[in-house]
Structure 1
Amino acid sequence: MNPIPPWLSTLADSARTMPIPRPMRPPERGGRESAVLILFGETDRGPDLLLIQRKDGLRRHSGQPAFPGGRIEPTDVSPEAAALREAEEETGADPAGIDVVGRLPELYLSFSDFRVAPVLGWWREPSEVRAADTDEVAAVSRVPIAELASPANRVKVRYGDGRMWGPGFRVDDMLVWGFTGKIVDLLLTLGGWELPWRERGLTEEFEATPQGLRPVG
């Protein structure tokens, strides 16, 4: 049994009122309701996050790393229930061993018109995880916070019309970027894990294209 650590309770308190970047603010109306599970655990490598790698060829977010999650169904009694259900379906994580700690403010994913409820969870009793939904998930990883925070693993990604830049993270054979990368970046700040970026010129930069990410320069 692993009780909720004080640092996660503090992070959850800060997350409730955190400022939302303008591109991630939901519109007044519209958008499909969804939820993701931001699941923190701990191993001998310190705190970590559960991430999935989506399969190539999907209609939305093909090949991208993400938090487990998806659309809120009519049978879900709450966003928290939807996030736990999706995590179990996608990774096999047992909801009985997960404590819901809180929720970030609602965010908006304009590319797919999703209003996203990011649910914070603590892995009180970790269970084995795998790519349980093989139609959508290619791989599942527990990524240490220390690796996400390391300046050596941080990159910049250009996307949209080419004028927008966002944070990226090279971890566990994945390049975490886009919506998930922005949330990870916010969590590093809220949790007090953020470290200074490498000097300009030493930071890798990528551009998102229809064919995937390509190095800039």
Structure 2
Amino acid sequence: MTSPLPDWWEPLLGRVRAARTEDFTRLRTPARGGRPSAVLVLLGEERPGSPDVLMLQRAATLRNHAGQPAFPGGAADPGDVDAAGTALREAEEEVGLDPSTVTVLAQLPLLWIPVSDFVVTPVLGWWHRPHPVHPREPAEVAHVARLPVHELVDPANRLQVRHPSGWVGPAFQVRGMLVWGFTAGVLSALLEMAGWARPWPRDRVTELPPTRAADPAPSAGTDEADELSRPASATDRHG
């Protein structure tokens, strides 16, 4: 360990290490098959005692998930040693993250996305030496931000979104980003595990704008945000 962990890592770290797939999704991950991929859930702090999470916003011109906020990440390459290697490589390619500034602490359970057949490993990391980051490929990444946890859990910034198909899932409206789908589902579950979540108005539902709803709806089984965006603990390249 390069530096002591801040106190706010507990109880999140202990609970994540004991977490099951069922804590994040109702979908059972198949024992075999699937396309390996990983995302980096990177927590740091801009000031002591105030954690934040690194997020990117995909370019509006992309064919899939245009304009959608997401964790850095994507499909595994043959040269990747493990899921952490995939997540760190993708973060370096997308936003210029220096892997040496990250301490990998845990891997979340495998989460399966049926239609794309991705098996996603969220990798939880401590950004022990933060540095400036930026979109390395503007055609793919439009914006990079560190979203403070205290803003994510603010009831005024929490809501649910409804896709044109009728699917409804958790979302966050923070600093100009509407975080929904797979990313919002993972965030929502982690906030609950950490004990950071606050009561919020679950009857606040907004329709997804057309530019954000361009991808097929999760309930139709054609979006990477499907049942993964309904963490069982919260309510009874990844968006």
TM-score of the alignment, normalized to the shorter chain, above 0.5: yes
The 3-state SS of whatever aligns with 2:11 is helix
For residues 94-105 of structure 1, what are the structure 2 equivalents within 5 Å?
A: 94-105=98-109
Following superposition, the deviation at residue 49 of structure 1 comes to 0.1
Using the aligned pairs only, state the percent identity: 46
CA contact (8 A) 1:69 1:86 kept: yes
In the superposition, the TM-score normalised over structure 2's length comes to 0.80
Aligned AA (2:15): S
Output one character per residue of 1:138-165: Cα deviation in whole Å (capped at 9) or x when no partner. 1000000001000000110123841x32
In the superposition, the TM-score normalised over structure 1's length comes to 0.88
Give the match for residue 71 of structure 2.
67
Gaps of 5+ in 2: 215-239
CA contact (8 A) 1:33 1:116 kept: yes
CA contact (8 A) 1:9 1:101 kept: no
Query: Closer, same or farther in 2 for the Cα pair 1:8/1:160, shift >3 Å?
Result: farther
Output one character per residue of 1:170-195: Cα deviation in whole Å (capped at 9) or x when no partner. 01111000000101100110111110
Matching of residue 178 in structure 1 with residue 181 in structure 2: yes
State the alpha-carbon separation in 1 of the partners of residues 109 and 35 from structure 2.
Answer: 16
Give the match for residue 228 of structure 2.
none
Q: Kindly indicate whether structure 1 or structure 2 has the higher relative contact order, using CA contacts under 8 Å at least 6 residues apart.
A: 2
Greater strand share, structure number: 1
Output one character per residue of 1:64-106: Cα deviation in whole Å (capped at 9) or x when no partner. 1000001110000011111111111111111111100101101
Matching of residue 83 in structure 1 with residue 91 in structure 2: no
Give the match for residue 30 of structure 1.
33
The 3-state SS of whatever aligns with 1:84 is helix
- Equivalenced residue count is 209
Query: Closer, same or farther in 2 for the Cα pair 1:63/1:110, shift >3 Å?
Result: farther
State the alpha-carbon separation in 2 of the partners of residues 212 and 98 from structure 1.
Answer: 31
Following superposition, the deviation at residue 116 of structure 1 comes to 0.5
Give the match for residue 212 of structure 1.
212
Aligned AA (1:53): Q
RMSD of the TM alignment (CA)?
Answer: 2.1
For residues 42-53 of structure 1, what are the structure 2 equivalents within 5 Å?
A: 42-44=45-47, 46-53=50-57
